[in-house]
């Protein structure tokens, strides 16, 4: 068969990925079987293996899917902002909104990828590195335009990612605090940590209402 046959189309691949999100999020990586994903997607093992050589491959593909989705959301939304500080604030908001919108993918990428072995850990670290770099870049721009004082933006970006991860992990496990509730508190804490003045923080809070 070729990709142009009815069983091997982009729509089939999408159905398999969407089914995998549902199954992995409910059963976890170890308890999920390829047969579970095939049944959920209402496809066939032949279609599954046409796109994904193994369960590990589709799991890693889902981690990439979430990272690509979040990065695209960030680039699209940040393109309209010219101020470095406004871009930093918006990046935080977009991250939490995306986590809230795609909880199943967030659970797979941030929770289940932990402790599954070297391949999974390397993938998780690579995803973190992508977003550390985005935050670092916007912090550097904020320093350049005088919005915040000079600081080690790589260390700050790592700390910010750590804070985001912890909030999302707790929400995925327990349902609380949800991203909408977390955003105002997290924004204030993180902006204070890089020396943003109170009146500027209040401006962002008013804008977010």
Query: Helix, strand or coil for residue 74?
Result: helix
Instruction: Tell me which residue has tokens 């068969």.
Output: 1
Same fold, 1-52 and 62-208: no
Q: State pTM to two decimals.
A: 0.78
Q: What is the pLDDT of residue 4?
A: 43
What dotted CATH number matches 62-208? Answer: 1.10.357.10
In the predicted structure, residue 1 carries a pLDDT above the cut 90: no
pLDDT tens by residue, 144-184: 988 889 999 999 999 999 998 888 888 878 888 888 888 88
Q: What is the pLDDT of residue 7?
A: 60
Backbone angles phi, psi at 7, to 5 degrees: -80, -15
Q: What is the pLDDT of residue 6?
A: 47
Class of domain 1-52: mainly alpha
pLDDT tens by residue, 90-135: 888 888 888 888 888 888 877 777 667 788 888 888 888 988 998 9
Q: What is the pLDDT of residue 51?
A: 95
For the chain, give the percent of residues with pLDDT over 70: 95
The chain-wide mean pLDDT, for the chain, equals 86
- The residue ranking higher by pLDDT, 80 or 41, is 41
What is the rounded CA–CA span in Å between residue 190 and residue 193?
5
Closest alpha carbon to 108 in 14, 200, 29: 29
Q: What are the structural domain ranges in the chain?
A: 1-52, 62-208
In the predicted structure, residue 79 carries a pLDDT above the cut 50: yes
pLDDT tens by residue, 20-65: 999 998 888 889 999 999 999 999 999 999 999 999 999 989 988 8
Closest alpha carbon to 207 in 83, 99, 76, 102: 83
């Amino acid at each position: 068969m070729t990709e142009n046959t009815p069983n091997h189309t982009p729509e089939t691949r999408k159905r398999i990925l969407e089914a995998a999100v549902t199954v992995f999020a409910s059963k976890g990586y170890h308890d999920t079987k390829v047969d579970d994903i095939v049944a959920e997607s209402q496809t066939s093992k032949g279609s599954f293996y046409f796109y994904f050589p193994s369960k590990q491959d589709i799991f890693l593909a889902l981690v990439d899917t979430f990272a690509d989705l979040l990065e695209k959301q960030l680039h699209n939304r940040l393109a309209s902002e010219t101020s470095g500080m406004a871009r930093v604030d918006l990046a935080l908001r977009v991250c939490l909104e995306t986590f809230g919108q795609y909880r199943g993918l967030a659970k797979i990428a941030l929770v289940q990828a932990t402790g599954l072995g070297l391949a999974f850990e390397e993938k998780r670290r690579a995803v973190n590195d992508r977003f550390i770099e985005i935050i670092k870049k916007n912090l550097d721009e904020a320093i350049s335009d005088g919005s915040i004082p000079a600081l080690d933006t790589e260390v700050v970006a790592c700390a910010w990612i750590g804070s985001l991860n912890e909030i999302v992990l707790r929400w995925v496990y327990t349902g609380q605090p949800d991203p909408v509730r977390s955003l105002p508190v997290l924004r204030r804490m993180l902006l204070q940590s890089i020396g943003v003045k109170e009146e500027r923080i209040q401006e962002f809070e008013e804008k977010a209402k």
